[in-house]
DNA sequence: TTGAAAGCGGTACCAT
DNA sequence: ATGGTACCGCTTTCAA
């Protein structure tokens, strides 16, 4: 054992709180262990950083949060030091103290009885828009299907302080879960039908007007028998259905209930149903208003397989305007929902609640995007 | 001021730790404030629950985590009580104590120079698969674009204890960010090219074999001039390119560099480029291997607009097998990547690291899905 | 089988 | 402008 080693050992035994720093015997420097804790394996903490900077933890904390109470010079010095050591605040500790998580849970509220899944492009578009909007506002997004939280969202996310608030995408057909969240007084925004007069803020498109626009476009293209392809019980779809009826009425067209085809809102269901209907009843329609682009795609596939010309024989209008709508052949005429704006509004309304301000429901304008699945206007 | 009120006031002044419970003067009952904290507004804490149950916090904590140290009876009683009061553990406090977040951050690693975005269906499919796999393993998913974390992922997510580990989707073209994470010794799994011999685990498809299969299919369909449509610099795509070359070689077809079309891997770029190429050079190819389904869709759109028959004049094979592939007309022949299995493997490899076990790269098998964009086999 | 108590790493009130 | 210090709510060691 070298002299240095031995010295170190003896030294350690003498006083466990000190450690030899430089091992040259004539120049032995020692520090209290806490002073060199930084060189240990354990991660750097605020206390450590403060010690490095020669200030108190309070000062370090304030400096990092750019609190003007601290002299600018000091602030910058500490921030630089933090960057140098790639130190970052322990989020859990901070959370515990401030009772703020800076996390928002996004829950995709899919009812069991539909096949519409987390794979649905529109939902995913919504999710990515939300992600962006949340990040912009300084929040992280915790994405959840309903598996973890099962049903008691309030206690899972809020009471357990996993998130500061909830964004629920889709009202689905049941709203028990949502009501529980409201009862628990958890900050909450729902994507759904904003015209519903609920005691929680709902952001959504003007679905009825969208349905009206879509149907009107078909009628103006010369369609006399417009199919409604969708789920009339689904909250938002029901609104679109109203718009459909409104447009028919306005054009003084007879409302034929046999033109309402109730399906699960997936491409697959649409494809199968349209196929089957044509098989049974022939081409008894000349236009389709599909409640979503995905449903429209399914219908189009069926039509194309039967060599029905689009928009020659049948015109089709969708809803959502997902990216694929433009890429499809023929490019799909559809009603655009502005997901970016929607996400932004939802985040705004949620933040209102964080700040104890009242939140409101918001209706988003929709826009008809004319493409090739309806005839060119003349 | 009523007698009761006054009594209460006086009482409060005398001893701030006690509070009148029943205000009837002849029957004044008082408790230490901490005993009635439960009736206060503040949320129920473990301490409160323990008090309600008449046990210590230690016991309550253990009971909730089903620790067999506690008598079964006691455990059940406390668990029932927790459910009754819809109590749930404060996640932040628990995190701080255990140094475990049970959260995994998923980062979509998109390079700046590509338009491929968070809207990309394949990426989203991956994300939803990861969400499911993580939830199944008891982890939450923190979804992040690169905005919040900017570049220093390790310090943002790990050192700040926001997440226990990282899953990075996409190697992109630069791996500086990834290397930083490795240096910081953060648990990490990357979705990318698993054949790359890196010092971190990579899960990915057998891209070269996929490219080979796709090209082989085209050649067997009678194609003599197969276009490669993609980005030869992108790690995974480069592998697919190798497979393309391999298939050509095997079939003793001349490798013509002018048949390699380098594009940004988006539908839009593919559409524009194919359009332009046909304009400039005519229909100089009879098959297209597109490096992704989205790229294939772009190409198909261009072809269809020019009335090129598919697969009559040109056959097309994609890569990924996103949901739309089947829905497209003609349904797209493509190479399937198994995202569900991929997600599962990634989560497994990440958990290995949590448990200090070594993690490995994993190669996923790919499968050719024959549909209508290539001729029926005969 | 249960309880007491010491932290986990910050933040913010109250001093100075 | 800065420091001392009492928490935030839970887990876990040690003691009983």
Per DSSP, the residues of A296-324 read HHHHHHHHHHTT--TTTT-EEEEEE--TH
- B278 and B176 in one domain? no
Q: Is residue B298 less than 8 Å (CB to CB) from chain A?
A: yes
Q: Give the CA distances from residue B315 to residues B99, B273, B296, B332, in Å, rounded to whole numbers and listed in that order.
A: 55, 17, 11, 10
pLDDT digits 0-9 by tens, B198-214: 899 999 999 999 999 99
Q: Is residue A159 less than 8 Å (CB to CB) from chain B?
A: yes
- The candidate with the shortest Cα–Cα distance to A117, out of B129, B138, B117, is B129
Query: In this structure, are residues A370 and A307 in contact, taking their beta carbons and an 8 Å threshold?
Result: no
Cβ contact B199 with chain D strand, < 7 A = no
Domain residue limits at B180: 101-205+339-364
Cα dihedral B264, A342, A214, A242 sign: positive
Give start and end residues of each alpha helix (H) in B137-201: 146-149, 153, 176-183
Of the residues A97, A131, A156, the one at which a domain ends? A97
Give the strands of the sheet with A315-320, arranged side by side. Answer: A260-262, A226-230, A287-290, A315-320, A333-336, A367-369
Cβ contact B43 with chain D strand, < 7 A = yes
- The candidate with the shortest Cα–Cα distance to B224, out of B283, B305, B154, is B283
- B233 and B281 in one domain? yes
Per-residue pLDDT of chain A (378 residues; tens, 9 = 90+): 333 333 343 333 333 333 333 333 333 333 333 333 333 346 789 999 999 999 999 999 999 999 888 888 899 999 999 988 889 999 999 999 999 999 999 998 876 545 556 678 898 889 889 998 998 998 999 988 766 656 678 888 888 889 999 999 987 656 788 888 888 889 999 999 999 888 999 999 999 999 999 999 999 999 999 999 999 988 899 999 999 999 999 999 999 999 999 999 999 999 999 999 999 999 999 999 999 999 999 999 999 999 999 999 999 999 999 989 999 989 999 999 999 999 999 999 999 999 888 999 999 999 999 999 999 865
Residues 38-97/B with CB < 7 A to strand C: 54-59, 62, 69-71, 74, 93, 96-97
Cβ separation of A298 and B154 shorter than 8 Å? no
Kindly state the DSSP code that residue B70 receives in the 8-state scheme: S
Which residues fall within 8 angstroms of residue A200, CB to CB, at 6 or more apart?
A: A178, A181, A182, A188, A189, A190
- B318 and B218 in one domain? yes
- A266 and A138 in one domain? no
Which residues fall within 8 angstroms of residue A215, CB to CB, at 6 or more apart?
A: A226, A243, A244, A246, A247, A248, A289, A317
Residue found by looking up tokens 């403060």 in the block: A50
For chain A, how many structural domains are there in total?
A: 3
- B197 and B213 in one domain? no
Of the residues A67, A97, A127, the one at which a domain ends? A97
CATH of the domain at B143: 3.40.50.2300
Q: Is residue B156 less than 8 Å (CB to CB) from chain A?
A: yes
Structure tokens at A341: 């704006």
User: What's the confidence (pLDDT) of residue A170?
Assistant: 83
Q: Which residue is nearest to the C1' sugar atom of C3, using CA?
A: B56
- A312 and A212 in one domain? yes
- The candidate with the shortest Cα–Cα distance to A28, out of A13, A37, A18, is A18
Q: Which residue is nearest to the C1' sugar atom of C12, using CA?
A: A58
CA B15 / C1′ D5 distance in Å: 24
Paired sense of beta strands B367-369 and B29-32, if any: unpaired
Residues in chain A: 378
- A373 and A257 in one domain? yes
- A343 and A199 in one domain? yes
- DSSP 3-state of B367: strand
- B176 and B264 in one domain? no
Angle at CA of residue A235, ends A230 and A237, nearest 5°: 25
CA dist., res. B144 & res. B51, Å (int) = 40
Residues in B closer than 8 angstroms to A296, CB to CB, are none
CATH of the domain at A77: 1.10.260.40
Name the CA dihedral angle for B307, B310, B314, B315, rounded to a multiple of 10 degrees.
160
- B344 and B195 in one domain? yes
Half-sphere exposure of A263 (CA within 13 A, CB side): 30
Which residues fall within 8 angstroms of residue A357, CB to CB, at 6 or more apart?
A: none
Q: Which of B162, B166, B297 to mutate to test the interface with A (most CBs of A within 10 A)?
A: B162
pLDDT digits 0-9 by tens, B309-348: 999 999 999 999 998 999 998 999 999 999 999 999 999 9
Q: Which residue of B has its CA nearest to A90?
A: B160
- B115 and B9 in one domain? no
- DSSP 3-state of B128: helix
Residues in A closer than 8 angstroms to B267, CB to CB, are 323, 327
- B343 and B331 in one domain? no
Cβ contact B361 with chain D strand, < 7 A = no
């Amino acid at each position: 054992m070298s002299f240095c080693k031995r010295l170190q050992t003896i030294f350690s035994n003498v006083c466990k709180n000190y450690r030899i720093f430089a091992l040259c015997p004539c120049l032995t420097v020692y520090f209290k262990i806490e002073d060199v804790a930084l060189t240990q394996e354990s991660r750097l903490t605020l206390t450590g950083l403060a010690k490095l900077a020669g200030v108190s933890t309070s000062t370090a904390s304030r400096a990092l949060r750019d609190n003007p109470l601290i002299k600018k010079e000091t602030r910058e010095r500490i921030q630089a030091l933090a960057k140098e050591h790639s130190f970052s605040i322990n989020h859990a500790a901070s959370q515990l103290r401030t009772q703020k998580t800076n996390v928002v849970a996004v829950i995709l509220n899919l009812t069991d009885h539909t096949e519409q899944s987390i794979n649905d492009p529109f939902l995913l578009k919504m999710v990515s828009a939300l992600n962006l909007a949340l990040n912009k506002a300084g929040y992280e997004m915790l994405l959840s299907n309903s598996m973890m939280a099962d049903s008691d969202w309030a206690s899972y996310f809020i009471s357990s302080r996993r998130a500061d608030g909830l964004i629920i995408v889709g009202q689905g057909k049941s709203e028990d879960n949502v009501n529980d969240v409201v009862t628990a007084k958890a900050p909450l925004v729902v994507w759904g039908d904003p015209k519903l007069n609920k005691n929680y803020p709902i952001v959504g498109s003007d679905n009825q007007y969208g349905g009206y626009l879509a149907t009107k476009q078909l009628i103006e293209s010369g369609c006399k028998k417009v199919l409604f392809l969708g789920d009339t019980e689904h909250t938002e779809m029901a609104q679109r259905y109203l718009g459909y009826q409104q447009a028919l009425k306005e054009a003084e067209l007879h409302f034929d209930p046999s033109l309402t085809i109730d399906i699960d809102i997936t491409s697959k269901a649409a494809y199968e149903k349209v196929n089957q209907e044509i098989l049974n009843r022939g081409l008894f329609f000349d236009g389709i208003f599909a409640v979503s682009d995905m449903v429209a795609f399914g219908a189009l596939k069926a039509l194309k397989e039967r060599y029905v010309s689009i928009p020659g024989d049948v015109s089709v209008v969708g809803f959502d305007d997902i990216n694929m709508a433009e890429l499809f052949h023929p490019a799909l005429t559809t009603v655009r929902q502005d997901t970016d704006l929607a996400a932004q509004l939802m985040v705004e309304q949620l933040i209102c609640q964080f700040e104890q301000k009242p939140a409101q429901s918001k209706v988003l304008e929709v826009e008809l995007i004319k493409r090739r699945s309806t005839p060119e206007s003349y």
